[in-house]
Chains A and B, each alone.
Chain A
Amino acid sequence: MIVFKIQKKLQSASGEMLLNLDFEIKENEFVTLYGASGSGKTTTLRILSGLSEADKGIITIHNETWLDTDKKIQLPPQKRKIAYVFQDYALFPNMSVRENLSYALEKGQDKTIIEELLALMELEQLQHQKPAQLSGGQKQRVALARALVRKPDILLLDEPLSAVDHEMRLKLQDYIIQVHHKYKLTTILVSHDIAEIYKMSDKVIVLENGNISKQGTPEQVFSSRLVSGKFQFVGEILKIEKENFIYIVVVLIGNNVVKIIAMEEEIKDLNIGNKVLIASKAFNPIITKIDL
């Protein structure tokens, strides 16, 4: 269980802002921090990992105190066993993929973890390459593997998927979900992508100007309206076609393109590129097996 009660004054584009957070995260939970840029998401991860200092507050992890400003306890980042995946990957350019992973080994640690992670992340073919030779998605896999070498309990992901293309993004999400379960991690992800949040997280914490404005399951946070829709997906509008008084909305869900009929009143607030929730009664879809 992570208990996080923190206050920190931040300088943002719109002036001074007080980051004032109080939340708890259960063991093995997958939590996403969601909010506009500048709302304090990255700072939250940095404070949790010890890279940034808080003005006031406490952090306890499984009843171990990492930070208590009143008692002047502040564990340095080295002692907080945390896997942190940076937005810019932060791979060491002078080291090969394998060397990047080996660097993370603790003194006397069993080296088999390196082979395990290289295999799990499908990096064996790339292990002797330098980071400069890798694609964005490959770099991200290396960064994730490297962060897990020390077998941490907590995984922090700072918008790790924002710089890769859509298909790679879906694949990386699967890798992350896989390691989250395999290593029984408690994972905190910073993300802007609602579809991604639906797919990955148990819980969403929405930050607004340094405060928690909402928290709950993705359904509770993003789609409180249509509660009985069991057949629902989040997608992105690609196209809106008008046919008389009927509109055909083309939506990308994952990597499938679907079409939805809508009326004029529904179209009013919709624009191309909008994220939308598509819901139907679970009674309507027809299910058939695909023979390969």
Chain B
Amino acid sequence: MNLLTGEIIAIKTEGSLSLVKVMVQDCAITSIVIETPETATYLRIDNKIKIVFKETEVVLAKAFSGAISLQNKLDCNVHSFEKGKLLCKIILNFQNTKFASVITRNAFDQLDIKENDLVQAMIKTNEISLATHD
């Protein structure tokens, strides 16, 4: 479970869904939740919040160009990794914090990931959960 801390900067609501934009240091990350500011007290601009996402939901790209539907793109560099036969776990430096990504060994080899490589970590909007700051 990856955990980053940020502040809510925008909330867009339609029906019972809300698109929440969270500023994590100088990077904006969006999450979609089945809540609205009416149903959830934590949905307030400037509210401190934690964003939570699973390692296995973090997509990695290297020197990526072209259009993509993924909204959350985080520039990171590779801190370290662990290799298995099927899967690899990559620890990433993101600004002054760390989080992890788990991808297949095939993908890892294709990307030719090495320590200190610059990579883009991408997370789908609907894979990010919000947790209150305590």
Select one of A225, A244, A265, A282 contacting B132, CB under 8 A. Answer: A225
Interface residues of B (CB under 8 A from A): 1, 31-35, 40, 42, 52, 54-56, 82, 84-87, 89, 100, 102, 126-132, 134
Q: How far is the CB of B113 from chain A (nearest CB, A)?
A: 15
Select one of B87, B129, B130, B132 contacting A224, CB under 8 A. Answer: B132
List, in ascending order, chain A residues with CB within 8 A of B40's CB.
227-228
Are B100 and A279 in contact, CB atoms less than 8 angstroms apart? no
Lowest 7 A-B CB distances belong to which pairs?
Answer: A283-B126, A244-B84, A228-B130, A228-B33, A245-B82, A230-B34, A245-B89
List, in ascending order, chain A residues with CB within 8 A of B100's CB.
263
Q: How far is the CB of A277 from chain B (nearest CB, A)?
A: 11
List, in ascending order, chain A residues with CB within 8 A of B84's CB.
243-246
Number of A-B contacts (CB under 8 A): 60
Contact count band on A: 20 to 34
In chain A, what residue has the closest Cβ to B84? A244
Q: A246-B102, A263-B100 are in contact. Are A227 and B55 (CB under 8 A)?
A: no
> For window 228-259 of chain A, which residues contact chain B by CB distance below 8 Å?
228-230, 243-246
Q: How far is the CB of A280 from chain B (nearest CB, A)?
A: 8
Select one of B31, B42, B87 contacting A246, CB under 8 A. Answer: B87
Q: Which residue, of B127, B129, B130, has the highest number of chain A Cβ atoms within 10 A? A: B129
> For window 253-292 of chain A, which residues contact chain B by CB distance below 8 Å?
261-263, 265-266, 279, 281-284
Q: How far is the CB of B22 from chain A (nearest CB, A)?
A: 11
- What are 24 A-to-B residue pairs whose CB atoms are below 8 Å? A224-B134, A225-B134, A226-B52, A226-B131, A227-B42, A227-B130, A228-B31, A228-B40, A228-B129, A228-B130, A244-B82, A244-B87, A245-B87, A245-B89, A246-B89, A261-B54, A261-B56, A262-B1, A263-B100, A281-B127, A281-B128, A281-B129, A283-B126, A284-B127
Are B1 and A228 in contact, CB atoms less than 8 angstroms apart? no
Are A279 and B1 in contact, CB atoms less than 8 angstroms apart? no
Q: A230-B34, A266-B1 are in contact. Are A281 and B42 (CB under 8 A)?
A: no
In chain A, what residue has the closest Cβ to B129? A228
